[in-house]
A = this chain, B = another copy of it.
Amino acid sequence: MTRADRPDPGDLDLQKQVCFALYAASRALTALYRPVLDRLGLTYPQYLVMLVLWERGPTSVKALGESLQLDSGTLSPLLKRLEAAGLVDRARDPRDERSVVVSLTPSGDRLREQATGIPRAIAEATGVPASELASLRDTLRKITEVATATPDKETT
């Protein structure tokens, strides 16, 4: 709070921006996953959906969206592709016909075994110590929490 909020031209330096570092790192890490996931026939977002299903079993589209911070505009077509691949089933919840429950097929369940070693392999490939990765993850979670909690902090 010294003499802040006077815009510094240097602020527009691409390399100084955390947001760009985040954007670049996210794509780079996803690219690391790609050849591995290709063997499972999954894209990275599809893999995230499978992670939730492997962990929690049958899950509604709404709950999937809350876990992954994705809306139905993204999930609906993605789940349709997973269903076409024979990995998941979709069915209306008889107790609430608005809700669609996604569950694993036997084929989707079996895929779990092939996925078990992936996270560790990727973590090691980055060459960053596990402790540093853990603190990185915590900082990222803090940022995500603040950023998503903010409805629209407009000073107008």
The answer to whether B24 touches A69, judged by C-beta atoms less than 8 angstroms apart, is yes
The answer to whether A30 touches B19, judged by C-beta atoms less than 8 angstroms apart, is yes
The answer to whether B17 touches A22, judged by C-beta atoms less than 8 angstroms apart, is no
Query: Out of B17, B31, B120, B143, which one reaches A11, CB within 8 Å?
Result: B120
Interface residues of A (CB under 8 A from B): 4-5, 7-9, 11-14, 16-33, 35, 44, 48, 51-52, 54-55, 67-69, 112, 115-120, 122-123, 125-128, 132-133, 136-137, 139-144, 146-148, 150, 152-154
Chain multiplicity (copies): 2
Which 8 A-B residue pairs are closest in the complex by CB-CB distance?
Answer: A28-B147, A7-B116, A21-B140, A26-B26, A25-B140, A7-B117, A21-B137, A11-B119
